[in-house]
Every structure is written in structure tokens, then in C-alpha cells.
Structure 1
Amino acid sequence: MEKREMSIQGDLPPLSQPNSISPTFSEHSKEALEGARGEEMVAVFNKELLSWYLVTLKFKEKVEGKSQPTTPASKAPPLLTQAGEPAAPPNPPQDSEWVISIREKLEQARQLERFSPWAKLSIYRVPKSLREGDEKAYVPQVVSIGPYHRGRGRLRDMDSHKWRALHHVLKRTGHDIHLYLHAVKSLEDKARSCYEGHIHLSSNDFVEVMVLDGVFMLELFRGAAGEGFTSLGYSRCDPVFAVRGTMHSIQRDMIMLENQIPLFVLGRLLGLQLGLPEQSCGLVARLAIQFLDPLMPTYEPLNQSDRFKLESSAAAFDPLSEGGLHCLDVFRRSLLRAGPRPAPRVWLKRWSHRGRVCDKRRQQLVHCVTELRDSGIKFRKRRTDRFWDIEFKNGVLHIPRLLIHDGTKSLFLNLIAFEQCNMNCSNDITSYVIFMDNLIDSEEDVRYLHYRGIIEHWLGNDDEVADMFNKLCQEVVFDMNDSYLSGLSEQVNRYYNHRWNSWRASLKHKYFSNPWAIISLIAAVVLLVLTLAQTFYSVYGYYRPSS
């Protein structure tokens, strides 16, 4: 037994010879155990000696590993293969779910920036800041036009009448539906780029909406423009395609910003019906203006002399000479048809600290009617059918007649929203509405303008008109220096700030407001003259008595 133990101990390398030591603890233990089992010497194996040796060996390996300096990763030599070529770098660490989600959002932003044609937008969603005033004014109530309000609630009732209109067109022209679908299919990308935001419709559904709604609009335009619905094949008792019925509600829905179809789509559809090879956008514009004429906010019958002056000072509106984006844009262009326009002037530096503001206190162009009257400014109705053409001469503010009906509020709100969204058009409608909002502060202001024939309304009372104007331009971004009424407003304010005008107006209001006041003033003046004469003769007789 002693010889066996000594032979085992002799086989083990001494601690002072590191080169002969096995590299790992597991290899030593494995060889020792296997050797013991193979020779069946378990009974004579010195376990304590072997355990002490292995523990000491493991401790020595740890001490030597800590004493070796570590090479920084940045300065470590490149790994080489057996052939001497640099080995491939190790795989980078995988991103966490948080980093992966951020990368996906960045990719979406890149796609949005790449495929969003901002310059081609013409049909916008009304900003939330504007919708808070009156949601109903921006949402169609009878018919949906375009993809934004497709399939919404009660608007679905009109879909059956749209299909009837398409059936009448195909029957009247003898065309196949494939002709219209193929023509609009070629315009799909261009039409999609006109809408703000992503349109969640497939290609077939989008083309169907363009054809169905476009044909429906053209049938309304042609029937109301002079051809007559009966000549187009509709019954005189038709619930939709008739002069009466729901026509007025449909007209109001068609001037909403979110309820539009690109004009070039309507032009292509009308060209197919009439057999014209090119798009008929100019003809569609004329038909749209005639159809939407009842929504005009003014109607002033002019005599021959006034009409001649108007035509000589302003060119007639020609839709062919100016491109149109959609029906709302064409209607706006007809309201602002060409004419002599005053250039905007930089003014009111005392009030305007910023260019474009949405603060109501910085939208004050002029004072209200009551205050202007106190300063001696008079108000007269101007005979013109251009409601925005305001003039100020010799202390008299000439304002065209404005007709206010139940659709005027929605009309102005959508026109203002279009001017706020489209940076390529002027802010003329916004400037006019803000100017009238400044003039009208109370029911008394509306009553006086109505007395002067400037405002004609079909609302319940004058207070509703004042409330309407005071709410039209809430949260509207407006640049006073870019308003066509800036120069006129400067003249009005200069006249208002002149003290002599205020004194003269105050004298007139107090002593010349009615006949009895005039008679009282004359009597007082005569009495004052007689009293002065009596005093004079009394003093004169005292110093120079008669002989």
C-alpha cells in the first residue's frame, strides 16, 4: 500500500514546475479519477492529498490570471485566422425592444417625408383649433363628397341617389363603366396627393369614390345651370335632383373644405360625357359657380350706370384664366374676382409686435361702429356686388351690402380655414371678416348697420349676428400687415384720433340729433343774443344818456 501511494505521488508533478501542470482543474480531476477506477485502486487512493493538490492548483491559476495586464478593446490587436488573415469582428449586440421601436418610428418619419407631396395639397382637414368653435360648420349634414366622410352615419342615405346618377349618365351616354374607372385610375396618384393625411382606402375603393361622387356633382351642376333635370332624365318629383327639396343643404355641404374632389377629376369625367379629349376644368368651374350662386353673401341689383362702372374698373371673373383646385377654391375666386386692389401697408407698429398672431387683442383693425360714430365717422351703403370692396372718403365709410343667411357662418368658416391651411392664397376673406368683427361689438352696432342698409340678415335677431361675427375668427392666425384693408384702417384710425372731429360729432349728437333739440338750441341762441343786446344797451345808456 505504501508503494502504491508513493507511485501515485511520484506521478503527480510538483508545484514548482508550472509547465508540467495540467491546464484546468477539470482535466486533473478527470484523469485522476479515471486512473484510479482503471487500476481498481480506489481503496488505496489518497483522497486528501489529491484534494489539497487540486485546490492549490486552482488558487495558483486565479492569482496568475489577475496579475496579467488586460489589453483595452480599442488597443487589442486584430484577431487573425490560421492563414494569417484578419478574422471577422464579433456580432454586434442586439438592440432592445425600445431601440427597435424608435428605429421603426424613424423609418415611418422618413417615409412620410419622402412620399408626402406638401406642395400638392389642396384638400385639408380642418385644424382642431378651428373646429372647437363649431364642429357642425365643417361636417357635411346631407351628402359626403370625397374620402374623408365616406360612409358616415346618415350620409349613407345619399349613396343610393349617387348610384342613380351614375346609372342615368351611363344610360344617357351609352358608355360602359369601365371607361370612367380607367380614366380616373390613371389620375389616382395625382388625386391622392391632393388630400392631407393618409387615405385608408384601397385603390379600387378610392377610384370608386372619385367616380361616384364626381358624377353625382356633375349631374347637380348641369341640372341647375340651365339644362334642367328633366332634360337629363329625372322626374320633376325627384327627391334630390330637383330645384326644391334638399338642394340648399347639398349646396352648403359642397362648400366645406373637407368635402371636396380635385377639379381635374371632375374635368376628366365631364370631358368623357361630352366627348371632349381634354379635361374641361374651365367648364366645370363655370357650372360650379352657377350652382353655388345662392350661397353668395351679397346680392345687390345694379342699374345700368353702376354696372358699367363696375365692369370698367374690374375685369370679369374668368375661371379659364385662373386655375382652380376644387369647388370651394373656385367659389372663393368668384367672390374675389379681379379688380383694383389696394396694396397692404406696414402699419400699426404700436399694436403689431409680431407678424402672424392669433391673439384677439392684436386683431383690432378699427374701433366698433358706436365709437366711430362718436368720432364723427358716417356709414353709407356702397352700391356694388363685391361685398369686400370697402372704401373710406371724407369721413364716410362706404361698405357694400352683406346678406347673412343660415349658411353664411359655415361659408365664412370654411373659407377662412382654407386660407389658413393653403399658404399660396391670400387672406382676403379673413381680413374682411376680422374688419367686420371689429365694427360689430354689440347688438346696437348691428342695428345701426341694418338701418343704413349695410347688413341684411335672416337670423332671429341682431344679437345673433353680433355673436356670429364675434366667434368667426377665434384662434385664427392673422397678419395685419398683410391685409388689403390695412391702409383703409389706418385712415379710419387717423380720423378717429383727431380731436376736432370728436368735438364736432359730440356737438352734433347732443344738439342736432332731432328737430326739438334744434329748435331748443335756436331758441337758446336767440335768447342769448337778446340778453346780450339788452345788456349792451343798458350799459351804453348809462355812460351816454340821451339828451
Structure 2
Amino acid sequence: MSRGESMAASAFMSMAYLNQSNSFIDEHHWLSLIRGALEEDEAEHEGTKVKVKVSIFFVPKNMVSTKPEAYMPQLFAFGPYHHWAPHLYDMERYKISATRKIQSSLHPLKLPELINCFMKNEHRIRSYYHKHLDFEGETLAWMMAIDASFLLDFLRNFTPEAEGLWKRSSSQQTWDASRMKMAYNMVTRDVMMLENQIPLFLLRKIMQRCQKDCSNVDDKELSEMLMGFVKEVIPIKSASNVTLTDVKQYAHLLHLLYSVIVPREIEDGFGNMQESECRIDMKDSEEDPTHPGVIKSFFDSAWSYASNVNGGATIRTIKRFVIIGPIKLIVNAPWKIITGLPGISMLKRPIESLISRGFAKKDETSTDESKSGSKPPLLEEITIPSVEELTGAGVRFLPSMGGLTTMRFEVLGKQATMYLPNVTLDVNTEVVLRNLVAYESLAESRSMVFTRYTELMNGIIDTEEDVKLLRKYGIIRNHMKSDKEVADLWNGMSRSVMLSKVPFIDKVLEDVNRYYNSQCKVKAKKFIKKYVFGSWQILTFLAALLLLLLTCVQAFCNVYSCGQRWFNLTD
């Protein structure tokens, strides 16, 4: 929707609201609204046509329900969505104090002039918001002037010249020093919420009104404030030092933060980048395909008979006393040592083939699905082993020198390495992550890169042990109370509102899963889980056969008196 269409729609919705509250239509008011919506004021366009895109949304209820406090402001309301919330209205006095401070600390700013400027931009302000705003133009202008002044005063704390400014009182009342950090964190979280955003061009208007002859300086100072704040709250460091050259291209603070984490080049073309396949040398697992089929068929055909011996009672006894111990020994013992034992070496190739064949069909199916890039994923949660499982399979983790674009999986010889970007977690990170996912989902981004990244982290982190390993490898910097809190953060992340598929991240997942599933140790565990702890087919048959053999020996000895003949035993 273009700006003119958006403003016209806003005008019509305003008239509809007036029609519901008043029995009669004020034709002059209607004409004023339509004329203001359709007329182009070149002065307000700053020499170019301003294209306003809706970028401030209400978060869907299915996302809010998982953790409402991460999406709804807890201390300060910015903008119209939560302005009348009773639990936030008490903080209006601090915003009014900040407005006074802005007027006094900067060059003289006449508030009526600022209100008139905002009223001229009423339709532009409304165009940023997805929901219709039931506010009169003057009310909206006053609200935005106060909120933008408070936000500007808060952002001034992140410029080099403003060190310690937050510790000073914003009004006649002094904030208690012991509660400053908590208040700072609460304001930071409120500022980063999607429903609590206000257009950044309002901050430019304030600074331009304060210093009319220094518009370039104003943009430079505002850029320093914004980037100082972004560096403070950004969870994932970008590939390079990002400088903010044009404030006008960013709708609000959350949009700016998202653009730093997910640069435009990623959305435009990085997702279509072709990468070479990850080749894995598994010469030891090559075998003759004829033998394992015969062995497996023999065991499978004997299973039905063995399961019916004594109604299954004998099998259950064997399971309990005979099988579990040897199986644990086999699983824990190194495979090369086992295959080197006398009599076992000749069975090495058939056993490996039997294990491999059980998963060949499943691996082929998963490979076919992964190659179909046009199909969306069947599950929203990533199907990938945890950090602990990958580490056990020989995968090491290293921090990548950059942002999301540097994420990759490499296999050099026998060493597999997964590179992940550094992520810093503190008390504000969960709110930032959740609202970035919500913004990316609702802003109709062409590539759900950030959402896919959060799904990947959700997939590889299951327990606090996974967090501990990533912290050990230098990927996670934990400023929270414990590793368990970090694990709960990732596991509690709301899933995306739409299925996401990002080629360069999916390529990493495909390579990781292919390598993990190709390891003999992993295949052995899956085989034992499927054929031993699930059905007990092979080992139950062998144990039953051994019991039958011992029974035959006992019967033979009873008939021919083995004890008296060979061991000189008497009754």
C-alpha cells in the first residue's frame, strides 16, 4: 500500500469512527481529512518522495501467549498501542520531565512549534502502524512529542559524551542509585518491543527543530546515539563494524537492530548462494552387499519362532539376566578392539553392513527431502542432534569471525567443525530475540534468516550441558545467572508463525546430519535401540538358541551319565 492510499484509508477509518460516535457527518472535517491525505507537501518530503511501509504491528496472540511480558511493556509505553494501559500511566511524569529536559538542555525548542510539525505529519505517523489509531490528530501529536523526547533523552546515554548521564535525575525527583540498573534494563526491554516502537523520523524532527542550521550534524549525532544503543543490546555481533549513514531508511529501533544483524545482502542474494557438497571419506564402511542380506533374513525369520517359546517367559528371563550387561559392554567398548578379537574379525564386514542397511533407506529419504529446496520444512523445530551428541560424534564447535553469514560446517580429513557466530546473553536478550522473530515474521521479510537461526539454536540446545559446552567453545557468552536459564531461554523461544526455509542455513543442517548419521558409533547406537531395546530380535533368538543347546546337553548327560564317565561324579 502506497503512502497516499494508507493515509486515505486512515482518513476514511477516522470518519467511520466519527460516524459511530456522532449522529451527524461534519462535511468540512471530512473534506479536511481527505485533502490532507491526498495532497503532497514537498517540504515535508524533504526533497524526495517518502515511501512509508507499515512496520509496527500487534504481535499475534499465539506468540504472546507463550510469554506475554516479553511483548507487552512493563514500565513505559511508547506510541499509541499501550498508551492508556493503567499500569503504565503512572510513568508519564518521567516522560514529561524528559520533555522539559530536552527543551532546556539543547538549543531552545518551542514545544508548540514541535506539536504543529507533528500534526502536519499526522498521516505519515499513522502510516507506520498496522492498527487504526483512535486518537485525534492533536492528541497523537502531543503523545508522540512526549514519547519521542523521552526516547531521545534515553538514547543520549549511549553517546561517548553522555557517559554517566543516566545516573542524573531526569526531573526534580532523584532515582534511587541501587535501583538504577533494574530501571535501565526494564526501559531497555520496553524500548525493544515491537508493539512499543515509534517512528525514528520523529527524533530527527526534534533535533532539527533544536538546531535548524545543522541538519547534517543532527543526523550524525542521532546516528551515534542509535548505533551506541544497538551495540549495547545486539545479541549477535555483525561481520564488520557497521556505521549508520542514513537514518531515514530505518522505520524504528527494532528495524535498525534487525538490519544490522541481517544485512540487506543476505535477504537479497545470500540465500541463493550455491555451496559445494560436504564429502565424507568412509572407506572403512564399504562392504559386500550380499552377506548382510542373508544374515538379516536368517535372524528375522527365526524371530517369530523364538518369541513363542514357553509363551515368551524364557525370553523375558534371558533379557533380564543375560543380555543387558553384554550389550552395554559392546556399546562402550571401542569398535576396533572388538573387531580385533579372535573369531569376531571375520564377522566385522557382515555386522557393519547389517547396521548400515537398517538405515540406508531412511537416509536416502531424508537426503531426497533435503534436496527439494522448494518444499517448506515439515516440522518447525530443527531436526538436528544436540551439542552433546555432536561432540560425542567427534564434532567440535568454533566461533565464526562475523555474523550469521559466517555460519558453516566443514570436514577436513577426520576432523569435523561447526562454526557458529558469537551470541551474548543477558537479562534483556530474550525480549530482543522474541521481538526480532516477531518483526521478521510480520514484516513479510523475503528470507526468514533470523527465525531460522533461532530454530537452529533451539535444536542443538536441549539441556544446560549443551550450553556449558558452547560456553566452553566460546560461542555463548553467558551473563545470566546459570546455564539452565540459557537452555530454558532457547527451548522456550516461540516458534515462527510461518514455516521458514533458508538455503544457506539448511545446507549447514544437511551437512551436520549427514556427517552425524554416517558415524559407526551413531549407527551402532541406533541399531541397538531399534533391534535390541525395541524388539530384541537378534539377541533374544541367540539367547533362546543357547538355552536350547544347554537343555539338549543336559538331556544327553542324563541319558549317558556324563558326570560319572568324564568327571567321576556319583549320585
TM-score (norm 1): 0.60
Cα distance between partner residues in 1 of 2:490 and 2:164: 41
Report deviation, 1:278.
5.5
Aligned to 1:390: 407
Q: What secondary structure sits across from 1:149 in the alignment?
A: coil
Partner Cα separation in structure 1 for residue 205 and residue 53 of structure 2: 19
Inter-CA distance 281–430: structure 2 relative to 1 (3 Å threshold): farther
Aligned partner of 1:192 in structure 2 is: 126
Cα 1:334–1:128 change in 2 (3 A) is same
- The answer to whether the 8 Å contact 2:236/2:261 transfers is no
User: 1:94 — aligned with what?
Assistant: none
Question: Aligned in 2, Cα 1:264/1:299: closer, same or farther, shift over 3 Å?
Answer: closer
CA distance in 1, matches of 2:155, 2:372: 47
Can you give the 5+ residue segments of structure 1 that lack an aligned partner in the other structure? 1-114, 301-309, 507-547
- Given that residues 392 and 488 in structure 1 are in contact (C-alpha distance below 8 angstroms), is that contact kept between their aligned partners in structure 2? yes
State how many pairs are aligned. 378
Cα displacement string for residues 29-83 of structure 1 (whole angstroms, at most 9, x for unaligned residues) = xxxxxxxxxxxxxxxxxxxxxxxxxxxxxxxxxxxxxxxxxxxxxxxxxxxxxxx
* Deviation, structure 1 residue 289: 2.5
Distance 1:272 1:212, change over 3 A: same
Partner of 1:218: 152
Counterpart of 1:137 in structure 2 is 70
Do 1:390 and 1:399's aligned partners in 2 also have CA atoms closer than 8 Å? yes
CA spacing shift, 1:467–1:476, aligned 2, 3 Å: farther
Match for 1:468: what amino acid? L
1:492 matched to 2:512? The reply is yes
Distance 1:199 1:350, change over 3 A: same
| Deviation of the 1:292 alpha carbon | 4.1
Secondary structure of 1:456's counterpart equals strand
- Find 1:267's aligned residue among 199, 204, 225: 204
More helix by share: 2
Which of 93, 106, 128 lines up with 1:160 in the alignment?
93
Cα separation, 1, equivalents of 2:479 and 2:99? 37
CA contact (8 A) 1:355 1:479 kept: no
Which amino acid in 2 is paired with 1:411? Answer: V
Which residue matches 1:78?
Answer: none
In 2, Cα distance between equivalents of 1:238 and 1:410: 28
The match for 1:178 among 107, 112, 117 is: 112
The 1:251/1:504 distance shift into structure 2, 3 A limit, reads same
**What are the within-5 Å matches in structure 2 for residues 332-371 of structure 1?**
332-337=258-263, 342-344=270-272, 350=369, 361-364=379-382, 366-371=384-389
* Shift of residue 229, structure 1, vs aligned partner: 7.6
Instruction: Give the match for residue 417 of structure 1.
Output: 438
Q: 1:239 to 1:291 in 2, by over 3 A?
A: farther
In structure 2, distance between residues paired with 1:270 and 1:330: 19
1:426 Cα deviation from its structure 2 partner: 3.6
Letter in 2 for 1:368: S
Q: Which structure has the bigger radius of gyration?
A: 1
Aligned-pair identity (%): 23
Which residue of structure 2 aligns with residue 469 of structure 1? 490
Of 184-193 and 314-323, the range deviating more from structure 2: 314-323
Unaligned runs of 5+ in 2: 1-36, 38-50, 275-365, 527-571
Q: Is the 8 A contact 1:133 1:474 kept in 2?
A: no
- The residue type paired with residue 409 of structure 2 is F
Q: Distance in 2 between matches of 1:321 and 1:142?
A: 27
* Cross-structure match for 2:81: 148
Q: CA RMSD in A?
A: 3.9
Output the CA distance in 1 between the equivalents of 2:377 and 2:78.
31
**Residue 398 of structure 2 aligns to a residue in which SS?**
strand
Contact 2:227 2:243 in 1 (8 A): no
Q: Residue 445 and residue 174 in structure 1: after superposition, are their counterparts in 2 closer, same or farther (change >3 A)?
A: closer
Q: Does 1:325 align with 2:251?
A: yes
SS at match of 1:485: helix
Residues in 2 aligned to 1:388 and 1:135: alpha-carbon distance in whole angstroms = 31
The separation in 2 between residues aligned to 1:245 and 1:408, in whole angstroms, is 14
Alignment CA distance shift 1:458-1:271 (3 Å): same
Amino acid aligned to 1:386: G
Is the aligned partner of 1:120 residue 2:53? yes
